[in-house]
């Protein structure tokens, strides 16, 4: 171990490797040394084999070897998903910009899972755990290869938090480029705009006789017209807008469409920003702060974002050694309105928002209104307020972002519920369109497959309010805490309005309706949800933040004494490892052995 500790690493050295680096501020021939980490292997003759390999990989001469910073360009690229299929090309553009600005770019990629392709099948078990593999792989390559900085390019839901968790771990100058949002689709047959969630809702409508198979075929074929993340305020766009509000991307990254020239210009501009970060020694943990998380939570409420944001913000906070809790989300929800009329519960798509100035215009409006902090530092080296000063103001005639005087909902749609069904907390997504409270009799299913089978048979036609409960789908019990968009979408498509859903699993950002997820403790861990019975009356109240069953404490205790944990569903491979290590949803479902 070297005598000189890496001063950029977090104080909690027990959780991080120690790396030797040139002290910040060191100069060579009057210029700041920017290759602080890579110089360990590129300067002198201590590691000749490393230098030989780097020459073979593309470094041209000794001057470049010894002086140029090396920047990892990590794209979450693979061909089988529209959210990610273009990210390799974006990465090439980033590398081009780095080379023009006197730096060396090394492209690498990591794995991903398409939530839409895996939705409601066994593949979805792998989705949430991919977040940690992404973080692991970017951290591994960045540190093992002695990269001086990192630019990550995610596209789908778990990609964004995975990239940011890696940044918080290696803590080297970094920024994120969101791969951009997809264009909206259109069904000529139905004569209406459509998107990925339309497929699931149309399927529900078909099962209940409201659409034909030809209608469904048309929706399927035309929902996704090209590259980009799912186009509503689903999880990908929720995370992208929140991370821009935290200062971790260039201005406009979250609302710039995937296939637009502006997205490629952003990729070229990233080199200038990463050079500023290197010169000023601005690191991810300088940007991932309590103040920036406040912005993230506020913008998630304003935009009507996904419940998955709660899970991912908690995980990022944990990784950065901050103390964000689920109660912080409720505190923000109590004072922040929903203003954006965006899908899934609204009318518009992210591409529509881009046409009226995108997120820079929204941030400009919210900073002026005093709702978000414009003084936080960002990856440009400037404040958020400085970044958006030249952005257009929102046109008073547009109706995508409502004025404060006319909100869609006066308080946040994400509610943290507690009670004897969720003593450790649960996360609800209640826009108010379905009402603010729901009381109904429980109908319990041990797994999403059982409920889907019941829906496909047309068995759910409740004459009275019914709370469908899907359990054993938590982080351990799933395993992997699968999303249940298919279930929620079928209910919406079938227009079953007197039904609510609760689960220890989670929902897609595209889900809407009266839904509650993330119930803690989960059923597999012996939470009260494990002993809920058919016919028990369940109360969901977004005003008192209550999730409870009309079962006495004595009866709950008696039922739990008779309950036995079922065998884990997997006992080998990556899912078994995940189930063994993962924590509960109220703490971000993080893997933490220490």
Same domain, 98 and 136: yes
Range scoring the smallest mean pLDDT among 201-210, 348-357, 483-492, 539-548: 483-492
Residue 543 scores a pLDDT above 70: yes
Q: Write down the pLDDT at residue 9.
A: 47
The alpha carbon torsion through 530, 533, 537, 542 (nearest 10 deg) reads 20
Let me know whether 328 and 469 are in one domain: no
- The answer to the question of residue 18 being in a domain is no
472 in any annotated domain? yes
pLDDT at res. 494: 77
88 and 77 Cβ atoms separated by less than 8 Å? yes
Q: Which residue among 370, 388, 406 closes a domain?
A: 388
186 has a pLDDT exceeding 50: yes
CATH of the domain at 571: 3.50.30.80
Asked if residue 19 belongs to a domain, the reply is: no
Q: What pLDDT is attached to residue 511?
A: 74
Are residue 216 and residue 232 in the same domain, yes or no? Answer: no
Q: Which of 156-160, 379-383, 427-431 shows the lowest mean pLDDT across its residues?
A: 427-431
Tell me the pTM. Answer: 0.94
Cis ω before 477 (30° cut-off from 0): no
- Provide the percentage of residues in the chain whose pLDDT is more than 90: 85
Q: Residue 593 falls within a domain, yes or no?
A: no
User: Looking at 16-20, 259-263, 498-502, which range is the least confident one?
Assistant: 16-20
Question: How close are the terminal C-alpha atoms of the chain, in Å?
Answer: 22
Top-confidence residue, 96 or 593? 96
At 328, which CATH number? 3.40.50.2300
- Averaged pLDDT for residues 533-537: 98
Specify whether 375 is located in the same domain as 449.
no
pLDDT, position 19: 58
Average pLDDT over residues 534-540: 97
Provide the domain count of the chain. 3
Query: In this structure, is residue 23 part of a structural domain?
Result: no
Confidence grade of residue 5 (pLDDT, cut at 50, 70, 90): very low
Task: Give, as one character, the DSSP assignment of residue 406.
Answer: S
Distances 391 to 264, 375, 475 between C-alpha atoms, Å? 19, 16, 41
Same domain as 147, residue 89: yes
Please indicate, yes or no, if residue 138 is contained in any of the structural domains. yes
- Answer with the residue of higher pLDDT: 68 or 496: 68
Tally of residues, the chain? 594
Q: Which of 130, 174, 508, 586 is catalytic?
A: 508
Distances (CA, A) of 285 to 5, 165, 299, 384, 561: 18, 11, 20, 16, 46
pLDDT at 16 over 90: no
Task: Judge if 137 and 249 occupy the same domain.
Answer: yes
Residue-wise pLDDT for 565-582, tens only, equals 999 999 999 999 999 999
pLDDT at residue 4 tops 60? no
> What's the pLDDT tens digit per position in 226-239?
999 999 999 999 99
Residue 7 located in a structural domain: no
Same domain, 478 and 381: no
In the predicted model, is pLDDT for residue 594 greater than 80? no
Task: Of 162, 148, 146, give the one whose Cα is nearest residue 281.
Answer: 148
Q: Which residues contact 375 (CB under 8 A, 6 or more apart)?
A: 383, 384, 385
The mean of the pLDDT values for the chain is: 93
pLDDT tens, 29-40? 889 999 999 999
The answer to whether residues 23 and 7 touch, using CB atoms and an 8 Å cutoff, is yes
Residue 201 pLDDT level (bands cut at 50, 70, 90) = confident
Give the pLDDT of residue 149.
Answer: 98
Q: Return the number of other C-beta atoms located less than 10 Å from residue 446's C-beta.
A: 16
Residue 192: which domain range? 185-222
Residue 247 CB coordination number (10 Å): 28
Same-domain pairing of 155 and 200: no
Note whether 442 and 475 are same-domain residues: yes
In a domain, 410, yes or no: no
Q: Using CA atoms, how far apart are residues 184 and 234, in angstroms rounded to an integer?
A: 13
- Residue 418, token pair as written in the block: 């507690």
pLDDT of residue 496: 80
Considering the domain architecture, whether residues 116 and 157 belong to the same structural domain is answered as yes
- Judged against a pLDDT cut of 90, whether residue 72 lies above it is answered with yes
A 10 A CB-CB count for 403 gives: 12
Task: List b or e across 546-573, with b for residues whose CB sees 16 or more CB atoms inside 10 angstroms.
Answer: bbbbebeeeebeeeeeeeeeeeebbeee
Q: Annotated catalytic, 586?
A: no
Residues 6+ apart with CB under 8 A from 223: 185, 194, 195, 196, 198, 199
């Amino acid at each position: 171990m070297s005598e000189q500790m890496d001063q950029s690493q977090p104080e909690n050295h027990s959780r991080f490797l120690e790396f030797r680096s040139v002290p910040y501020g060191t100069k060579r021939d009057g210029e700041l040394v920017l290759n602080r980490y890579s110089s360990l292997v590129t300067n002198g003759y201590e590691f000749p084999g490393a230098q030989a390999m780097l020459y073979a990989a593309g470094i041209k001469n000794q001057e470049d070897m010894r002086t140029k910073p090396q920047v990892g360009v990590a794209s979450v690229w693979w061909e089988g998903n529209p959210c990610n299929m273009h990210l390799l090309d974006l990465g090439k553009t980033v590398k081009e910009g780095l080379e023009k600005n006197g730096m060396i770019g090394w492209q690498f990629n990591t794995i991903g899972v398409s939530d839409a392709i895996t939705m409601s099948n066994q593949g979805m078990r792998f989705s949430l755990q991919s977040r940690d593999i992404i973080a692991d792989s970017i951290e591994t390559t960045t540190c093992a290869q002695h990269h001086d900085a990192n630019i990550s390019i995610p596209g789908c839901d778990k990609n964004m938090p995975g990239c940011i968790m890696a940044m918080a771990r290696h803590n080297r100058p970094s920024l994120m480029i969101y791969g951009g949002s997809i264009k909206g689709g259109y069904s000529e047959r139905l004569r209406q705009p459509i998107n990925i969630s339309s497929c699931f809702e149309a399927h529900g409508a078909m099962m209940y006789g409201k659409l034909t198979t030809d209608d469904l075929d048309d929706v399927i074929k035309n929902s996704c017209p090209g590259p980009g993340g799912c186009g509503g305020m689903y999880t990908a766009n929720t995370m992208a807008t929140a991370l821009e509000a935290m200062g971790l991307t260039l201005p406009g990254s979250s609302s710039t469409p995937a296939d637009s020239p502006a997205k490629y210009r952003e990729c070229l501009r990233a080199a200038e920003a990463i050079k500023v970060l290197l010169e000023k020694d601005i690191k991810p943990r300088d940007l991932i702060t309590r103040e920036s998380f406040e912005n993230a939570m506020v913008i998630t409420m304003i935009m009507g974002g996904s419940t998955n944001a709660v899970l991912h913000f908690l995980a990022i906070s944990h990784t950065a050694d901050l103390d964000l809790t689920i109660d912080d989300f409720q505190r923000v929800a109590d004072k922040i309105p929903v203003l954006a009329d965006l899908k899934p519960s609204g009318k518009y798509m992210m591409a529509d928002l881009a046409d009226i100035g995108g997120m820079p215009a929204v941030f400009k409006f919210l900073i002026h209104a005093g709702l978000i902090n414009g003084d936080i530092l960002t990856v440009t080296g400037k404040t958020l307020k400085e970044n958006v000063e030249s952005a257009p103001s929102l046109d008073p005639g547009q109706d995508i972002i409502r004025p404060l005087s006319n909100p869609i909902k006066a308080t946040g749609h994400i509610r943290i519920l507690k009670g004897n069904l969720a003593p450790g907390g649960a996360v609800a997504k209640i826009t108010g369109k379905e009402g603010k409270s729901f009381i109904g009799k429980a109908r319990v299913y041990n797994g999403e497959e059982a409920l889907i089978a019941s829906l496909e048979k047309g068995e759910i036609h409740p004459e009275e309010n019914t709370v469908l409960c899907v359990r054993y789908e938590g982080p351990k019990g799933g395993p992997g805490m699968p999303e249940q968009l298919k279930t929620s979408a079928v209910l919406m498509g079938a227009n079953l309005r007197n039904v609510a859903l609760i689960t220890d699993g989670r929902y897609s950002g595209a889900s809407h309706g009266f839904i509650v997820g993330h119930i803690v403790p989960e059923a597999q861990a012996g939470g009260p949800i494990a002993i809920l019975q058919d016919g028990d009356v369940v109360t969901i109240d977004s005003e008192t933040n209550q999730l409870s069953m009309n079962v006495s404490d004595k009866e709950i205790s008696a039922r739990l004494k008779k309950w036995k944990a079922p065998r884990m569903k997997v006992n080998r491979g990556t899912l078994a490892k995940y189930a063994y290590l993962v924590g509960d949803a109220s703490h971000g479902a993080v893997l933490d052995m220490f």
